[in-house]
Structure 1
Amino acid sequence: MAEGDSFRSIFVDTNFDTHLAVAFSPDDTVADLKVSGIMALSCLSQCGTNVTSELGKDIVNYLFIHLKSSFGYLVHYKEKVNNLQQTFEDLRSVKNDIQRRTKAAEKNGEVVDDVVTSWLRKVSELEQAVNTMLAEIRENKRSFRRFYPNLISRYKLGKEATKRKLDAEKLQEKGNFATVSQLPPPPSIESMPAGDFMAFSSTIEAMNNVLKAMRDENQQLIGIYGMGGVGKTTLMEELGRQFSISKEFGTVIKVVVSQNPNIDQIRREIAEELGMRLFGEGESAARKLADRLKKETKIVIMMDDIWSRLELRVIGIPIGDEHRGCKILFTTRTLQACQLMESHASILVDVLTREDSWTLFKSKVGDICRSPDIENVARKVADECGGLPLAIVVVGRALRGCSEKSVWESGLMQLKRSIPDELLNVEEQLFKSLELSYNYIKNEEMKLLFLFCCLFREDYEITEDELTRYVAGEGFLKDVYSLDEARGKIHLLVHDLIASCLLLKTERERSVKMHDVVRDVAVYIASKGDDCFFVKAGLGMRYWPESKTLEMCKRISLMNNDLLELPDQPNCPKLLTLLLNSNPSLKSISSSFFQGMASLAVLD
């Protein structure tokens, strides 16, 4: 073995710090410290080496280097502590920034990376160690022997400060995270909470197909189609709920298009969802919206109830190469509408299987359908609903708890009747199911309130206050003597209509809306009854309708149109309620307009 190798092996096995600690007695003066390092050379005698020999020179040189370093811990003690504190303050700033980013990520439903969590833990551990060391330093300042501090303690703390500074620098270097979190994996369909979404075989298949298309970078425009009442909107709302939680596709925006789309209104609703105040109309507003949407790296715009081609760029929605991160998900009743929209994927929401229909029907009717007398006819009633969830639910609610077989048989006969020609756009099973549900309402006030809801335009969110004003104005509520009493009764009736699935809750408190198919059926029923409604709300009408039926009508709704003028003196002797609100182009009304409306009680 070479001499250099032998002396290094000796000192590897020798605790040099121990020798140095012995050399530095607590009673040493500063002058003594200049020569006290020589005591550490006593280890030469352990190996019988002459200082003047080659090995001795190497050992002395080796000792000198280490003594110089060790003296640095002592002599530059304050500097090393100050350097540590500065380095750790820099690290603490990085830590605070990482913590802010992780909290924001968790708030958005993201999962913090394990490496980031581990880094934060190590920084906290180092912080605890540094705080302990600084506390010892403060204590050391108070400890004096003959007016001199404890030199051994200073040496140890100087050495520890150097080590902790290196640790802090390494952690600071590793803390340069480009990202601190990841999107959580999407939950399996089976694990999703039901809510209004029903996880049957047809809906699960549709859900999986939509998710597959959404994750395909080449599929930007995705259509969901199926019969009215099959659950397209419910499916899309469930997707929106999941997307909002997972953030997998970025920002989620939902708008309703309807049969007669209002482009300016759709544009404003999208802007409001983005927290943007959009002024103006037409191309200028469309450009502003497009510029804002392009700032979103990823975004999903959900458009419910499309009937024909909708020009997305006219609205201000950038598609194609203009914004590859923008996905459009829409619902429609027909495959043809998907083709008109040039969708990249068209996904069918099929009707429920016979077995799934029966399962859903039983859940709405209750245990009565298990009765030997009822089960056979109950299964036939469920079959007549044609696998449409909405039809199954409204019929099930209408017959819930009914134990009379004759009532079930009567209901079955109603479901087997043919539907009127005026409702060819409504699925036969759905119309008959809704008509049965309406006929089974025993409270006449509730029936009339249900029909009142069809006076509003499609997809309108109806407040209970609006209903109260109109209904109280006509005065058809019994045993009600004040507006507060009317408001309370309306609230109870609305609650029962929601329970019957004839009205839908909205996100706004004390407001409801009608499913578009339910509204179609309600408009038909209202137009044929003794009360005779005439409803043309939200259709873009510019002129007063020419119809002889107006003479027999008790309620006319032309709200949310573009009426330019009204006739001088229409003959409507039975008219009780006339709704003309939200017609911005209507500037004046003739003084003779109301002369043929002797019974008019409500005007809006």
Structure 2
Amino acid sequence: MAFPGESAVLRVGKLLCTTIYSKITIFFKFHPNTDSLRAKMKELSDSKQNIEGYLESTGKQGKVAILPVKDWIPKVNNIEGQWNSMEEDIKASQKHFCGCFPNCYLRYKLSKSSEEKIKEVKELIDTRANFPEELAIPNPQPESVQEMPEPSIVDQKAASELLDRLKELVLNDDIRKIGIWGMGGVGKTTLVSNLNNMMADGSLAHPFDIIILVTVSSILDLHRIQLQIAERLKFKEELEKESEGRWATLLLQRLKKQKKCLMILDDVWEKIDLDKVGIPQGDLLGCKIILTTRSVDVCNQMETTVDIRVDILNDEASSELFSKHVGELPDVEEIKSLARDVAKECKGLPLAIKVVGGSMRGKKRVEQWRKALRGLRTSAPKNIERVEDDVFQPLKWSYDSLEGQNIQHCFLYCSLFPEDFSIDEDELIRCWRADALIDESMNIEESRESGVDLIES
């Protein structure tokens, strides 16, 4: 407060003295402040250890910490880390310059920090005091199996045989990884979905505590895979609170609590590093893995124990599946004959058969069936409802995904041969070389090696 006649110089002097006095006071409180903080930190750390011991004990009973406790523990961990760093500085401040003078600035800084930290620690201690008596609640366990919306294939002979084989492999403890491979549209996802649903409805007894289905897709995104697994485990909210770098560790710990787990990785396009995802493997606690993929190379890279190839359907199986989706046909011989031809034009692809069969369901006139057959034979998808979106678009997308020098051109080159023509490999490679799809500077042997590699791709 300024007094009448008090000079500006005097007021500034008083302000400086007040500031200096405050700093000197904080400096001389170095020991009381740091000792007080040390005592409060011990009280806080002891409280945290007691809670963690309690949670470990209740965790064995299937309980998890309540949300306030989940939020409180990381805050305590954070302030403990800050205190450990401060203690190193406190030890350093005990050393004197030239054996005589203390490090005044460091002591002032630590004393001031201690005053601030004491307030934070007190808040955490007060928060702990307000916790309810029950610090853990029963963990809502996920269902062991979730049924999927997929039509049954048990009445389809070829598919049913594959399903029987898959069931035997899944129940065999000696087999850890199963690969299911084949071109797009042949029903790999339908196969594993039917297996899942049989376990869900109890028609297939199984030993798994939980069955987890993950959709992978062509663009490999490990975090997306981890979130799908965490959501299935009812663990997603907790996972997202942590840094993404810790997700694999946390998922590994969570999955190891399951005695037996079946992990289905659907639509895998390239090798997945299971360790980076957090999927336990290689021991009694490991998950049994089923993966579906278009390429047997992916099965090899993932080191599958057994592989099942899902191929296109033969004429008998195609006709059987088509009949199921098209429903009852009019008692007209020409329509029945056209229906058999339409089914054949689907080339054994279950996806195409289902879509075309469904689109022709209820069609009673010969003209409608002739138009459908003509549309399929002339590759005009617009003539048949839903075929463009459900069949041709996925096929085009698969074509667009072909990678590597000239691979698309080499693929399209095959369309120059007649339909159902048997193409000789050596002849095809010579044609590719003549049209500069293979480097002309290569010798004959090198050209053939490059050509074989393209054919395999």
TM-score, normalised to structure 1's length? 0.38
Larger Rg: 1
After TM superposition, the score normalised by the length of structure 2 is 0.49
The structure showing larger relative contact order (alpha-carbon pairs under 8 Å, at least 6 residues apart) is: 2
